[in-house]
Structure 1
Amino acid sequence: MTAQDIPRPNANEDQIAWIRVSSVFLPLATPISDAKVLTGRQKPMTEIAILFAEIHTRDGHSGLGFSYSKRAGGPGQFAHAKEIAPSLIGENPNDIARLWDKLAWAGASVGRSGLSTQAIGAFDVALWDLKAKRAGLSLAKLLGAQRDSVQCYNTSGGFLHTPLDQLLKNTDASREKGIGGIKLKVGQPDSSVDIHRVETVRKHLGEHFPLMVDANQQWSRPAAQRMCRILEQFNLVWIEEPLDCYDAEGHAALAQQFDTPIATGEMLTSVSEHWDFIRQRGADYLMPDAPRVGGVTPYLKVAALAEHAGLMIAPHFAMELHVHLAATHAREPWVEHFEWLEPLFNERLETRNGRMIVPTRPGLGVTLSEQVKQWTAAEAEAGQRP
């Protein structure tokens, strides 16, 4: 009998056999402050709650997915994931769209957005990771890549707690790493401080280096009008979240009035919430976050709607996932560079000449580091490990 004669498992008939969900709390080196902290609405961020889902099939295939929460909600995501995970046992892992719907309806009484869909996101990402790995393709190639690298910008060096002199050093460090843009947090109680910081960084970077700002929803409509008008002079790529994340009408008015593009969407947690912004033209750059909307499956729906409407895309956070998704868009997006999640994984993304290189390893191309064990607060299993 030759190798060709040995029967191989039929991928069409595989079944999910075992799932493990883990609640992990990743500590941050420095407490993080943005405008929400300065307005007293939130405390400085000291850790990120990560929800991991590991899915294994009867035929020996596996996938890793994750979602996350900042400041609150991590234990709730884990509890919901633990409760709905048994719904996947015995299911065919190929049927990702149907399984997303099954998980959504399993917890429909608590809604099909927010915490519930963020819990689903970890399973959905794991299923896409599994499918790509089984095919021997990166997730980007499985979905259909438009490019092998994506323009990227750094956010982690531009928070409000960072003194101005250190801010300038951070911009230099980002450029030396091959990152192609810089984003600054704004929203100081004294707007003149914001203007001075933006002006100083713009002079430091030069007139044409890509620069963005992010107000984290903390301006009123009058304040946003004033600040957008002042910020027009700095040749910004975009002004992000100038208003409350649900104020589609207000964002649309700013987008229509000013030359500088308006960006928002990271806090939206469903396709329908994004559709409200798309149909009202509430953003020039839409910023969907795949874990927050429920994974790759709903993210692709948001991206298709945005592309049809002629909006640009800039996915929020989670670069380890979003670099793959950004590679599939016809109109090149921006990927946000955050090194915060790097300690969770053994692999590192490469940046060069202003761009983030799309990994060629199968699936997401990441494996969990040994450090994850010490940050794990709780685990739960469903099914029988093959």
Structure 2
Amino acid sequence: MTRDRISHVRLSSVTLPLATPISDAKVFTGRQKPMTEVALLFAEIRTESGHEGLGFGYSKRAGGPGQYAHAREVAPDLLGEDPSDIGRLWTKLVWAGASVGRSGLATQAVAALDIALWDLKAKRAGLPLAKLIGAHRDSVRCYDTSGGFLHVPVEQVIDNAAASLGSGIGGIKIKVGHPDRRVDLARVTAVREHLGEDVPLMVDANQQWDRPSAQRMCRELERFGLVWIEEPLDAYDAAGHAALASAFDTPIATGEMLTSVAEHAELVRAGAADILQPDAPRIGGITQFLRLSTLADLHHLQLAPHYAMEIHLHLAATYPAEPWVEHFDWLEPLFNERMEIADGRMLVPDRPGLGLTLSDKARAWTVETCEVSGG
């Protein structure tokens, strides 16, 4: 039997500038500086038969050059391999760099390659990625985050929310976690009063409350009928999140900052999340996301993947229970295609694979490339 083989890998380090510096609670508490750019790692894989796959990962603030450097070291291990054997190749790439761990930056570098392999496999089959995996739906509920950051005046947050809903987006998430709890409550009150009770509304504290503050704020926020309260505590405080999840009616959502399936499994074991928020580029790619998705389903958890809607739309569509996908417009300039939205839902594209091609801007913002070829 003749099998296709991987013959070429192209890696690109891309710096995406943001139009406005972005601040969430981590900036207001002094832990981070405003974000001005996003670093992306793109992987383009080609086979001897001419099939191609595109994948990407990202880093907000530090880490982008490290992801690129690690991917450049392990990518040669793909040459000559059958691209269909994605699980085996994920393991091979992870063990190639096992001395720096099987989570964090190392597996984030592997994620871009893993996603490219899944994109390639779906394209070879002539199917959208969601259909290759096995979709439960052709569209997913979506909510907007990019208009609700803490540096944005509440009047503008309300205008942004109205524009998002007018474009067909189904829900709105705003940031909280301001050092002055009265500011948070005033902003949530204003947004809820403007939107009315029927519009799905979420809040995100970005890990900036301690346990007493989180207890107090979750109690105060109960009256707003929120879809969830996100990251009220440090991402690794499974016991603290579990206490909140058991004490309040409003669901607790967390998981986006974790960088492996094993870390998420700790949340699941502790009962720390009503809604799990994995990020495929952060946990090692689609191969790992599917493992985690199965675990979440077995424990009857809701799913709302973090960021990277271009990838997560397909993955959310394969989850048995009705999920959410996060609409973020930041990455749109990198691609020639746009996600279609209607009636509060994001539609799975009918294009093969992820259905993405890199734009001229993505090429222009490329700061470094590496070509890996066999022979």
Q: TM-score, normalised by structure 1?
A: 0.96
Match of 2:12 in 1: 22
Q: How many residues align?
A: 375
Matched, 1:331 2:330: no
Match of 1:374 in 2: 364
AA aligned to 1:175 is: L
Match of 2:158 in 1: 168
2:196 to 206, 211, 222: 206
**SS of match in other structure, 1:118:** helix
1:352 to 342, 346, 349: 342
Match of 2:187 in 1: 197
Cα deviation for residue 372 of structure 1 reads 1.2
Matched, 1:217 2:207: yes
**CA contact under 8 A between 2:80 and 2:374: conserved in structure 1?**
no
1:95 to 70, 78, 85: 85
Match of 1:230 in 2: 220
Distance 2:362 2:263 in 1: 33
Match of 2:56 in 1: 66
CA deviation digits over 1:290-322, x for unaligned, max 9? Answer: 000010000001110011011110000000000
Structure 2 gap segments, 5+ residues each: none
Segments ≥4 residues shifted beyond 2 Å: none
2:114 to 116, 124, 127: 124
Match of 1:6 in 2: none
**CA contact under 8 A between 1:208 and 1:235: conserved in structure 2?**
no
Distance 2:322 2:118 in 1: 22
Matched, 1:86 2:69: no
Distance 1:279 1:310 in 2: 12
Distance 2:50 2:199 in 1: 48
**SS of match in other structure, 2:253:** strand
Query: C-alpha root-mean-square deviation of aligned residues, in Å?
Result: 0.8
**CA contact under 8 A between 1:140 and 1:327: conserved in structure 2?**
yes
**SS of match in other structure, 1:113:** coil
Q: TM-score, normalised by structure 2?
A: 0.99
1:270 to 249, 260, 280: 260
**CA contact under 8 A between 1:157 and 1:170: conserved in structure 2?**
yes
Distance 2:138 2:195 in 1: 27
Cα deviation for residue 384 of structure 1 reads 4.3
Cα deviation for residue 381 of structure 1 reads 1.2
**CA contact under 8 A between 2:173 and 2:204: conserved in structure 1?**
yes
**SS of match in other structure, 2:151:** coil
AA aligned to 2:196 is: G
1:139 to 129, 152, 159: 129
AA aligned to 1:362 is: P
Match of 1:242 in 2: 232
**SS of match in other structure, 2:77:** helix
Match of 2:302 in 1: 312
Q: Percent identity?
A: 68
AA aligned to 1:253 is: A
